[in-house]
A = this chain, B = another copy of it.
Amino acid sequence: MIKPLGDRVLVEASAKEEKTASGIVLPDTAKEKPQEGTIVAVGSGSLNKDGARVALEVKVGDRVLFSKYAGTEIKYEGKEYLIMKESDIHAIVG
């Protein structure tokens, strides 16, 4: 088990096919292109001004688009994951 801290999430990145699982084709331009993946674990949220936790917007199982330069790679029980901040995630797709 991997439990991300704070406003971090654990993401399993999709294989980088030209046409991804949810039907989003990433265009070939100069702008940064997001990558697709699935949320595997979520942190307990960031702190608000009173020191209470604010739940994240994404939940386990969500398919998400995120900055392709986001996160830290780890390998756990044979699978590769990314740990990133929720703010690196652009949108939920599906």
Min CB distance, A54 to chain B, in Å? 4
In this complex, what residue of B is CB-closest to A85?
A: B90
CB of A16 within 8 Å of the partner chain: no
Q: Is A93's CB under 8 angstroms from B49's CB? A: no
A17 adjacent to chain B (CB < 8 Å) = no
Chain B residues contacting A65 (CB-CB under 8 Å) are: 2, 72, 74, 83
Q: How many residues of A contact B (CB 8 A)?
A: 49
CA distance A47 to B48 in the complex (A): 9
Bound CA span A17–B18, Å: 29
Report the Cα distance A92→B24, complex, angstroms.
28
* A83: contacting residue among B1, B8, B34, CB under 8 A: B34
In the bound complex, how far is the Cα of B80 from the Cα of A34, in angstroms? Answer: 13
